[in-house]
Amino acid sequence: MSHQKGLSLMDKLRDMISAGIGADHKVVVAERHLLAAYDKLRYFLQVSFHADAGRLNCAATLREMPSKRILKAFRLHLDAADDRSFTNEASRITEGVVSVLQQALNEASNGLGVPIDETPEVRLRSASHLLSTSNPKWLASGEQLAKGRERDPFDADAAIQWGLHLFARLVLTSPFEGIDLAERDRIEGEIEATVLECLPEIEEKPLLMLGAAKLLYFIDRGHLELAEEIAERALTRTQDSTAALPLLGQLRFARGRFDEAVTIFDQGIRAAEPGAEFHRHMRVPKYLALLAAGNSASSAAQTTDMAHLGLDCPPEIAFMIGWTAVTPDQTLPGASRQALAALGSDRATRAIEYLYFTSTRHVTLEHGRANIMRNMIAHLSRLYGKQVVPDFVLRSIGALASA
């Protein structure tokens, strides 16, 4: 077989597979030694040829990357003297490859209660919404989820959904009323136990893996490396869906890699419809990452954008955003000043705790934590005194607290 015929077969496979899986997914042909250049490769169809005594042997293996796990293997029946055999075999292999890839995409988009009658692409978009924020759905469905857990305590999907319900209880509470620290610790302990128990059951279910990684990240109990490992493995199965972007950005944020986090959040912002929940959610952690980095060059634009973002939020959250974004030497809007004056010392402490537990404690760099907390602490302590700042928050931000 001539080298040209081999290339022709590869071109046929590329074009047919590309047409079969749709324009959203890119198919490339490359020599094996050049594969490292494609760092986002998700699936690899390896085709090998061997000619011996006039006989042509050809095999193809479809592998999931980066694990190189074989999903499907094919033996090709080629006749070097018959061009039709190359076209026929390309069609047969394409049909098998596309079927496997579509099944993988279906499996990757199942879970978290997302309706299975939608297309995989629509299901992944729904998952992006469910995993990007403390979705009110999780709070409202607590009773139903609890009954499901009672019926089948070994259902990993129900377990992760229950964990997201508990997460929503912590985040969707009033920032000024807060949750008793002992109750918060109890809830986060239940989240931890629930997630760790079901980890072996979700290895082939990437949406559940993303949910588990999100919860392990949030509770901040020393599982950051584990959350990163789970998220990276899940990403290889969701084919770069936006569902993974919020968590990936937050994991970079936690490591102090603020520029990388902002880049990931910007990617999500560009992919989202302006004004949508996902769009709004991606903007909040982006600005927190800018704050943590001490990005003074963008502070003016950041404050303006954060203030505008607050218009779409519940009033209490809007006030929190303003007190976090506006520096102490700037004047707060009238409504924000009035809310601050009406807050009272105890509720001021709850507001500081809320910001710390939801957005700050995850950052491994002390100066990053201090940069996030600094503005709010300044606004509240100016009015109510330094005693409104909990000791554990002061210990976390160290000498930078008053800088």
What pLDDT digit, counting tens, does each position of 244-296 carry?
A: 888 999 999 999 999 999 999 999 888 877 767 777 788 889 989 999 998 75
Give Cα separations from 138 to 41, 154, 159, 170 (angstroms). 34, 19, 12, 11
What's the mean pLDDT in 145-163? 90
What pLDDT does 305 receive? Answer: 61
Distance CA 283, CA 307 (A): 12
Give Cα separations from 261 to 182, 247, 301 (angstroms). 32, 10, 18
Q: What DSSP string runs through 57-115?
A: EEEEEEEETTTTEEEEEEEE---TT-HHHHHHHHHHHHHHHHHHHHHHHHHHT--TT--
* Residues 87 and 6: beta-carbon distance below 8 Å: no
Here the tokens at position 105 are: 């995409």
What's the mean pLDDT in 140-164? 89
Q: Write down the residue that tokens 């218009």 correspond to.
A: 311
What is the torsional sign of CA 105, 106, 107, 111? positive
Here the tokens at position 23 are: 């324009």
Which H/E stretch holds residue 376?
helix 366-384
What pLDDT does 63 receive? Answer: 85
What pLDDT does 306 receive? Answer: 59
What pLDDT does 218 receive? Answer: 97
Q: Is the pLDDT at 355 greater than 90, yes or no? A: yes
* Residues 359 and 288: beta-carbon distance below 8 Å: yes
State whether residue 220 is helix, strand or coil: coil
What's the mean pLDDT in 181-194? 97
**CATH assignment, 113-240:** 1.25.40
* Residues 313 and 289: beta-carbon distance below 8 Å: no
- The predicted-structure confidence for 6-19, as pLDDT tens digits, reads as follows 667 778 888 888 88
Measured distance between the N- and C-terminal CA atoms of the chain, rounded to whole angstroms? 73
Q: Write down the residue that tokens 């069609």 correspond to.
A: 91
* Burial status of residue 41 (CB atoms within 10 A of its CB: 0-12, 13-18, 19 or more): middle
* Residues 148 and 156: beta-carbon distance below 8 Å: no
What is the torsional sign of CA 204, 208, 214, 216? negative
pTM of the model: 0.80
Q: Count CB-CB contacts under 10 A for residue 350.
A: 20
What pLDDT does 39 receive? Answer: 54
- The predicted-structure confidence for 356-378, as pLDDT tens digits, reads as follows 999 999 999 999 999 999 999 99
Mention every residue, 6+ apart, whose C-beta is less than 8 A from residue 177: 347, 350
Q: Count CB-CB contacts under 10 A for residue 233.
A: 16
What's the mean pLDDT in 37-46? 69
Which H/E stretch holds residue 343?
helix 334-343
Distance CA 148, CA 171 (A): 23
What pLDDT does 297 receive? Answer: 44
Distance CA 181, CA 187 (A): 10
Q: Where in the chain is the domain with CATH 1.25.40?
A: 113-240
What's the mean pLDDT in 20-42? 62
